[in-house]
């Protein structure tokens, strides 16, 4: 399936470790829970995907502007901001803690890139020893309907970055 503007998103689930103050202790792990796309019914969601937590472009260039501009997203009516990657929920929780996401942005695992495969946005990094990953993309979803798709045509962050998504809201 290839997702287009105006389409209803396919159902899917993600695993994530919800933020709690106990996670401030580096030895705490938290308990993964399931997040369903059905939870976004009636909500405006910004979802962006990165190939991997702690990888150079994702860690330095993609996620930080979303954190920095969090208030701008909220001012434009965004209810939920979520970053997904193929990493497991514990790695994403660790990344969220290092990046200081707390309860602002959900860092969720697209286990086996199942949901990204459904929408046609995967990235094969097998040649680099990283396997199949989520592609680098961003979606604006309003009441489960796609309003914007920014899929990166090559390396770097442009159409899936915070500035491009803010401009599209």
29 catalytically annotated = no
pLDDT for 133: 65
Q: Is 34 exposed, middle or buried (0-12, 13-18, 19+ CB in 10 A)?
A: exposed
Which residues in the chain land under pLDDT 70?
1, 122-133
pLDDT for 96: 95
pLDDT for 64: 95
Q: Where are the alpha helices (DSSP H) in 10-140?
A: 56, 63-68, 70-75, 89-99, 114-118
pLDDT for 1: 56
Residue of 9, 35, 47, 58 marked catalytic: 58
Domains of the chain and CATH, by start: 13-168 (3.40.30.10)
pLDDT for 129: 60
Global confidence as pTM: 0.91
């Amino acid at each position: 399936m290839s997702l287009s503007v105006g389409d209803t998103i396919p159902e899917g689930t993600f695993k994530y470790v919800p933020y709690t103050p106990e996670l401030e202790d580096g030895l705490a792990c938290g308990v993964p829970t399931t997040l369903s796309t059905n939870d976004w019914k009636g909500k405006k969601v910004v979802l962006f995907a990165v190939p991997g937590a702690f990888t150079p472009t994702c860690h330095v260039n993609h996620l930080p502007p979303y954190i920095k501009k969090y208030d701008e997203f909220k001012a434009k009516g965004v209810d939920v901001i979520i970053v997904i990657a193929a990493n497991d929920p514990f790695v994403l929780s660790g990344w969220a803690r290092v990046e200081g996401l707390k309860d602002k942005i959900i860092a969720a695992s697209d286990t086996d890139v199942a949901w990204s495969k459904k929408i046609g946005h995967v990235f094969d990094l097998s040649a680099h020893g990283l396997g199949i990953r989520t592609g680098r993309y961003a979606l604006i979803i309003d009441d489960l309907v796609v309003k914007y798709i920014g899929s990166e045509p090559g390396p770097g962050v442009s159409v899936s970055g915070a500035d491009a998504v803010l401009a599209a809201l």
